[in-house]
């Protein structure tokens, strides 16, 4: 059973907006055994949308579309679908009632809102409980096409509550099972060489993929076949062999983020953490707090972007700061100690570096980041010295800090 995704909107093509809908939908479909063949993004033009629908309906049994359902003139998806399926727009009471409920007293209902209550005839109209754009479900010759709003949070609610449960009955007998390992300490080519004998001997039903990102490689095993138990067994056996080869370089045997791993470890041990961040500017704290329930182990953070805050709030020794500089092992050690004592935690993370694009010197070029982690009386440090641009330098520093903390715990 194959699906395709079509995302609609000029903003995607001119790069004003990144299409995050497709990855989310792909992941969810995969979980219920439906494989996505292709993702297509097209502009808000009738003929281009029609061409995309046409070829997707030819290849796949299920076509999921997002976008182009807003109340404004640039949004044309509903009318295009009517033309494509040779039907027309009709007024729908339930949809209007929903629009009124969503807009509440804040917004007066106007003609444009009314137009959102016009929906294609000859399709099932599905309510969108968190937005004003309704969902259209078309079934023709055993194939399904669903048009959903492009706003990610609306699409997610509609997919989870309405579309995925309905699609489950279309799922084939083929099971798809993924298992992902987080691997550290390996460049991609060295890892691939190390794994080659094992990879070559993998059974037919298992496929291996390498996903390297800023110092970590995610290894994904995908098993596909008719018998779920056999798949799980085979995957388990191969996983054991893989663990035997990579040993402690495997940080996790599921597709978790480093911040999720940190959270699990700290919760298990009943420990608390704080961060003291200079160049990462709150990014590490933000990653920790992206995990629901982090309040049981995360107490807080001091983002000491200026030296004044380093001394004033974290109590970094001014002499050290002046003699060694803000980007130094000595300063980052002072910072991690300061974080622990000022926020009274069991462990802490500290960073200080030059994220770029400016501010580098010959001794400390852009990309230099000193990282320290502390757990009770133990402190470990590392120096990061790769420059891949501000954003990546900051993200990599977070990755390294999390890996260092996992090591020390």
Q: Which of residues 229-248 bind a copy of itself (CB under 8 A)?
A: none
Torsion over CA of 276, 278, 284 and 285, rounded to 10 degrees?
50
Cβ-in-10-Å burial (0-12, 13-18, 19+) of 231 comes to: buried
CA–CA distances in Å: residue 40 to residues 4, 7, 14, 21, 143: 8, 6, 14, 12, 18
**Considering the complex, what minimum distance in angstroms separates the CB of residue 123 from a copy of itself?**
23
**Considering the complex, what minimum distance in angstroms separates the CB of residue 211 from a copy of itself?**
6
In the list 92, 134, 301, 331, the residue contacting a copy of itself (rule: CB under 8 A) is 301
In the list 142, 197, 270, 292, the residue contacting a copy of itself (rule: CB under 8 A) is 292
**Considering the complex, what minimum distance in angstroms separates the CB of residue 108 from a copy of itself?**
7
**Sites for a copy of itself among residues 359-378 (CB under 8 A):** 359
Closest CA to 44 of 72, 64, 86, 20: 72
> In 119-176, which ranges are continuous DSSP H helix?
152-158, 164-167
- Contact mark string toward a copy of itself, 331..350, x via CB under 8 A: -----------xxx------
**Considering the complex, what minimum distance in angstroms separates the CB of residue 122 from a copy of itself?**
26
**Considering the complex, what minimum distance in angstroms separates the CB of residue 377 from a copy of itself?**
22
Q: Which is nearer to a copy of itself, 36 or 123 (CB)?
A: 36
Mention every residue, 6+ apart, whose C-beta is less than 8 A from residue 181.
Answer: 218, 219, 220, 221, 239, 242, 246, 250, 252, 253
In the list 100, 143, 218, 243, the residue contacting a copy of itself (rule: CB under 8 A) is 218
**Considering the complex, what minimum distance in angstroms separates the CB of residue 361 from a copy of itself?**
15
How many residues sit close enough to a copy of itself to count as binding (CB under 8 A)?
114
Residue 181: how many other CB atoms lie within 10 Å: 20
In the list 207, 237, 241, 269, the residue contacting a copy of itself (rule: CB under 8 A) is 207
**Considering the complex, what minimum distance in angstroms separates the CB of residue 31 from a copy of itself?**
9
Q: Which is nearer to a copy of itself, 123 or 394 (CB)?
A: 394
* Chain centroid offset of residue 158 CA: 19
**Sites for a copy of itself among residues 122-151 (CB under 8 A):** 130, 132, 151
Using the rule CB under 8 A, give the single segment among 77-85, 161-169, 186-194, 377-385 that binds a copy of itself: 186-194
**Considering the complex, what minimum distance in angstroms separates the CB of residue 289 from a copy of itself?**
3
Helix pair 390-408, 258-269: axis angle to 10 deg = 30
**What is the Cα–Cα distance from 150 to 261, expressed in whole angstroms?**
32
Torsion over CA of 101, 107, 110 and 112, rounded to 10 degrees?
-80
**Considering the complex, what minimum distance in angstroms separates the CB of residue 298 from a copy of itself?**
5
Closest CA to 20 of 61, 74, 60, 66: 66
**What is the Cα–Cα distance from 55 to 63, expressed in whole angstroms?**
10
256 binds a copy of itself (CB under 8 A): no
**Sites for a copy of itself among residues 15-74 (CB under 8 A):** 15-20, 22-28, 30, 35-44, 48, 52, 55, 70-74
Q: Which is nearer to a copy of itself, 199 or 407 (CB)?
A: 199
The SS3 assignment for 33 reads: coil
In the list 58, 105, 108, 362, the residue contacting a copy of itself (rule: CB under 8 A) is 108
Pairing outcome for strands 273-277 and 118-120: unpaired
**Sites for a copy of itself among residues 376-405 (CB under 8 A):** 388-392, 394
């Amino acid at each position: 059973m194959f699906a395709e995704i079509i995302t609609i909107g000029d903003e995607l093509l001119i790069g004003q907006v990144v299409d995050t809908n497709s990855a989310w939908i792909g992941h969810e479909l995969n979980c219920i055994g439906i494989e996505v063949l292709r993702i297509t993004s097209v502009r808000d033009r009738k003929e281009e949308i029609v061409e995309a629908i046409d070829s997707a309906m030819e290849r796949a049994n299920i076509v999921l579309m997002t976008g182009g359902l807003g109340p404004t003139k640039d949004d044309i998806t509903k009318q295009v679908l009517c033309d494509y399926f040779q039907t027309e727009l009709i007024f729908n009471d339930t949809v209007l009632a929903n629009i009124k409920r969503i807009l509440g007293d804040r917004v007066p209902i106007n003609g444009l809102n009314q137009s959102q209550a016009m929906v294609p005839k000859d399709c099932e109209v599905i309510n969108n409980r968190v937005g004003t754009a309704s969902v259209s479900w078309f079934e023709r010759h055993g194939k399904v096409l669903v048009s959903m709003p492009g706003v990610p949070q609306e699409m997610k609610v509609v997919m989870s509550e309405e579309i995925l449960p309905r699609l489950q009955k279309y799922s084939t007998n083929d099971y798809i099972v993924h298992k992902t390992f987080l691997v550290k300490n390996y460049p991609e080519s060295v890892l691939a060489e190390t794994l080659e004998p094992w990879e070559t001997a993998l059974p037919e039903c298992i496929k291996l993929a390498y996903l390297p990102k800023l110092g970590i490689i995610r290894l994904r095993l995908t098993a596909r076949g008719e018998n779920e138990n056999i798949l799980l067994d085979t995957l388990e056996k191969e996983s054991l062999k893989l663990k035997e080869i990579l040993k402690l370089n495997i940080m996790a045997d599921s597709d978790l983020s480093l911040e999720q791993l940190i959270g699990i470890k700290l919760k298990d041990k009943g420990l608390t953490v704080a961060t003291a961040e200079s160049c990462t500017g709150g990014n590490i704290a933000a990653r920790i707090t992206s995990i629901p329930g982090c309040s049981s182990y995360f107490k807080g953070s001091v983002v000491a972007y200026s030296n004044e805050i380093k001394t004033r709030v974290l109590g970094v020794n001014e002499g050290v700061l002046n003699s060694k500089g803000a980007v130094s092992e000595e300063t980052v050690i002072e910072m991690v100690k300061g974080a622990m004592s000022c926020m009274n935690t069991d462990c802490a993370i500290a960073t200080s570096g030059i994220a770029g694009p400016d501010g580098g010197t010959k001794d400390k070029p852009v990309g230099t980041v000193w990282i320290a982690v502390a757990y009770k009386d133990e402190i470990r440090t590392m120096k990061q010295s790769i420059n891949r641009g501000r954003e990546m330098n900051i993200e990599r520093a977070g990755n390294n800090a999390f890996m260092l903390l996992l090591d020390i715990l």
